[in-house]
Structure 1
Amino acid sequence: MFKKILLATTGSTASFGAARVAFDMAKRYGSEVTIFHVLGVPTKAYSQIVNDVRTGEEVEVDDDYRSWVEEEIKTTYAKQLEGLDNVRIVLTTGAPSREILREARSMDADLIVMGASSGDSSRFQRGYPGSTLQKVAKAARCPVLTVHRESASYWGGFSNILFGTDFSKQALSAFKFALRTARELDCDLTIFHALDISGKVLDQNEIEENLIAARARIRETYVPLMGDFKNYDIEVWEGSPYVEIVKLAREKHVDLVVMAHHTRELDPEKARIGSTVEQVIVRANCPVVSVSKPDKV
């Protein structure tokens, strides 16, 4: 199902984890990988002088510069590229998010893989994803897999998937992706809902009643869609949603967390990536997939 993977990379250490996962997927699942790098943003329309996306310095993009960058990419990922034949490198200039989305549409990508920040991760470490990820995750027609923490990239393929739901309309598309992945790759699937009690004082009986109702809702909403798929489990906990998702993922040694890009009933073109997804990306010890649109699920 991951026939075409678009790896959006800056070449900085911030994207090393994402690259490791993308190349590992290519070897395990026979995927075609496009290594996509935006050289910089033109200082003027159609100008060869661009502001480098990493350093902010002005550079002239000519054939020699492109050749040098391509060679740098091959050197950076030399070990991961060993044994991979179905890999191509694409270099371009422009606004990074727009060019990533354009290339994903052009190649009909099944998955976009990227790091959570472009290089300076200090802002992201405080809990805010980079603007490029925000824009790509919002508009991408295919799921977007994000790897932020280096530890999240050391894994052995997909065998245990956690799908986090708030029962929103958007969550249904994310569930379809999680189920399809679990079915095709023979994975275990955990359907999870966290009853949000953060900042609330609730009677314990009320909490337990809500937990029972949530479990019943999962069975009514998702189980009928699974057909003969039996490798699933249902978990419902109370607490702060992102904390409980990360906690459960660690306890069950989850390989992949799947969530909707946003939760409220909003126009996907206007919705910002949800705060719960942001925090899960920051803290999870495995890759996190956000699904915004139903096109490729």
Structure 2
Amino acid sequence: MSFFLQRWLGGGGPWGRQEVSQAVERLIDEVDPKVRLLPRSQQQLQRGVRDTLRYASELIEHLPPPLDLSPAGYTTDRRVGLLFASPESLCRVLQGSEALQQYFSHPSNPDTAYLLLVMQPQARQRLGRQLLPDGQVQNDVPQQVISFEQHRVVAAYDSLKNLRQLAGMEAFNALCRDLARRVALFDARRQQLEAERQRVLLRLAAGGQTLINAAALRGRDDVRDDELPRRLQQLDAELAVMGKQLSLPGKLDYLRQVLRQPQQYIKAGLESTWLDRMGVVTPPDLGGAQLDFGLMKLGEGEDSVRERVVFPGSVTRRDLQQWRERWPQ
């Protein structure tokens, strides 16, 4: 069912009034808690948040089979060995997970936790050796190596069904963090422009007089003296626009804009690549094995999109105990 049909029919996940209200509060907390000072700010965001949660839930429905994150699974589930550099690195991720600690701290929870694992893909180029089908070895072959870093367990659930139903909230949380990051970067850019404006004003005030530290006043602007008035006009115009966008009403409008079209800011789907056991991209006819993974993209514009690989996984209390016995912290 498409996102827009879900929106029309009102389906798309277990998002009641309480869950939507909590998601609204989380979004405001991430971006700017002062947005609450605006009249009816929460109410203005509720429908968009509900629609975005439904959309995110639809995206997360398509995930690969769960990873076996037990000590035995590191060797039997080929995918685990590709995603983690070593058994010890997997152990550190599991033992350092607050979500798993909270899950297993409740004795009433089942012994198996189904978790959502997020990591950052990295691709690099190198020259390597390649074994050809006829048995010969070819040297200095351009190769692409895929590795995975910054692993995080973002949530743990008592069943795979609940993971698939509720993981949409984790995608929404990721969107909230990304929006907060973008607002912070935009504000940092505003501060840079304000600092440049002060330097321009000082240089204009100095006129033709000798300055003790003229180089410092130039900063990195590289603007000639005769261009200063025009540059000041540009800065004033740009700062006026940014001031409106970074005001509380401007931030609220930005959030409403994103929530009206979530498909422009968050995308996800099932992707595939073929890798050998060292992570080198290798065609199937040369021994590459297929790796299916969920890929989530956050942001707008080609230059600012952030990618994260997403996997479901499972681990038991006994598995964690075995990991602790092998690599105690």
TM-score strictly above 0.5: no
More helix by share: 2
Question: Whose RCO is larger (CA < 8 A, sep 6+)?
Answer: 2
Q: TM-score, normalised by structure 1?
A: 0.25
